[in-house]
Structure formats: structure tokens, C-alpha cells
């Protein structure tokens, strides 16, 4: 998959628009530029393994089919192509994660029957969700603003975002009451919105 001179010089946004018109070379270039990042997002939520690759495949097929739905501006706000792609992958990964959780509820594994995805996910040592949130905050220059929030607020937001955990799962992992976690995450989202707006990013 080698890009031609035309596609290699085009912006990601322009390539998605090309894909929307059925240009497969544009679509291939979108994959070439974004797949390692998007696979990283899927792996964060699902762990290394077939499930993450399946989600990546489904996500790109969906991107190909729905490229015409991409809007580069909504309400006067620029919608970055990469964040649109990330949203598609996250949604697919969250669906897969919830489906996996439902399967576990209905099919209690026999003793010793271990999910391969779990093993690989557990074997993935780092970085933690909190570390990723801190790195992102630094890169976005909103670290000071976000640090005004209590650590519990930031940790609950990080666990929900980077690991795709539900409110209940975040509460279990943090050993905190469910009601508190819901309030922390809501407050964390509001704070993130304020911090990004103050920085002029994704206001």
C-alpha cells in the first residue's frame, strides 16, 4: 500500500472527503496515517488480542461507509478529522467491551477457563489511565486547570475514558460509592470542557 503523490500530500480531512466519493486510494491513505494510533485506542480499552483487531477492522469499514457523514465544522467549531475517527473506534471498542461483559454474566467460565484477551490485557503494564490523562493535559496545556480538581475526580474520568469502564466498574476499581463516582465524572467532564475552552481547544 504505497501512496501516490496526490494522496500523500492531502490533508486527512481531504482524504476522508475523497473516500466519501468512493476513492479507495484516499481511504487506504487514511488507514496508513491513522491505524497505529486508532489501534492504540482500541488496545487501551480491549487489551492486546483479536478483539482489538476485530474492532479496528469494523471501525475502518464503518469509516469507509460513513465518510460522507464527516463534517469539518459544527456550530462554528472545527471538528478535527482525527477526533472523528477516534470516536468511531471508541464506540466500536466500547460496544465490544460491553458485549464481552454481557457474555461473562451469562456464561460463567469453568475453573481454569481463561479469556486470552484478559491475559494479554493484564500483561500490558503501562501507562496507567491517570498517567495518560496527565500526559494529555500537559500536551494540551490544561494541566494546571485540570489539577484544580481533586485526584479522585481525575482518576474516575481517566478510568472511564482510557479503559472504557462503566460507572459501576470505576466505583468497584476505586472502592468508592457509585453515587460519588457519577458526580466525580460529571464534574470532571464539566471541568475538562471549561479548561479546553479557556485554552481555545475544542471549545
Binding site for another protein (CB under 8 A): 1, 13, 17, 24, 27-28, 31, 35-37, 39-41, 43-44, 48, 52-53, 56-57, 60-61, 64, 71-80, 82-84, 86-87, 90, 94, 98, 127, 132-133, 135-136, 139-140, 157, 160-162, 164, 166-167, 185-186, 189, 192-193, 196, 201-202
Q: How far is the CB of 107 from another protein (least distance, A)?
A: 19
Q: Which is nearer to another protein, 37 or 114 (CB)?
A: 37
Which of 51, 36, 50, 41 is closest to 98 using CA atoms? Answer: 51
Tell me the C-alpha distance between 152 and 58, whole Å.
34
**Minimum distance from residue 31 beta carbon to another protein (Å):** 6
- Cα-based distances in Å from 31 to 39, 54, 61, 119: 11, 15, 11, 28
Residue closer to another protein by CB (options 50, 109) is 50
Return the C-alpha cell found at 141. Answer: 496545556
Minimum Å gap between C-beta 155 and another protein is 14
Smallest gap, in angstroms, from Cβ of residue 165 to another protein?
A: 8
Cα separation, 23 vs 96, in Å, equals 29
Q: How far apart are CA 180 and CA 171, in angstroms?
A: 8
Amino acid at each position: 500500500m504505497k501512496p501516490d503523490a496526490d494522496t500523500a500530500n492531502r490533508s486527512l480531512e481531504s482524504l476522508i472527503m475523497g473516500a466519501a466519493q468512493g476513492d479507495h486510494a484516499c481511504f487506504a491513505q487514511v488507514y496508513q496515517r491513522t491505524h497505529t494510533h486508532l489501534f492504540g485506542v482500541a488496545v487501551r480499552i480491549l487489551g492486546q488480542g483479536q478483539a482489538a483487531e476485530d474492532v479496528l477492522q469494523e471501525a475502518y469499514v464503518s469509516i469507509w461507509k460513513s465518510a460522507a457523514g464527516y463534517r469539518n465544522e459544527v456550530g462554528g467549531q472545527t471538528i478535527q478529522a482525527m477526533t472523528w475517527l477516534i470516536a468511531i473506534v471508541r464506540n466500536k471498542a466500547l460496544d465490544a467491551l460491553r458485549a464481552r461483559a454481557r457474555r461473562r454474566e451469562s456464561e460463567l467460565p469453568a475453573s481454569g477457563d481463561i479469556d486470552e484477551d484478559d491475559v494479554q490485557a493484564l500483561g500490558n503494564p503501562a501507562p496507567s489511565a491517570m498517567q495518560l490523562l496527565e500526559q494529555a493535559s500537559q500536551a494540551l496545556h490544561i494541566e494546571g486547570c485540570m489539577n484544580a480538581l481533586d485526584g479522585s475526580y481525575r482518576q474516575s474520568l481517566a478510568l472511564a475514558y482510557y479503559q472504557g469502564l462503566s460507572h459501576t466498574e470505576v466505583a468497584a476499581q476505586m472502592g468508592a460509592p457509585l453515587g460519588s463516582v457519577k458526580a466525580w465524572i460529571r464534574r470532571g467532564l464539566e471541568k475538562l470542557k471549561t479548561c479546553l475552552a479557556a485554552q481555545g481547544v475544542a471549545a
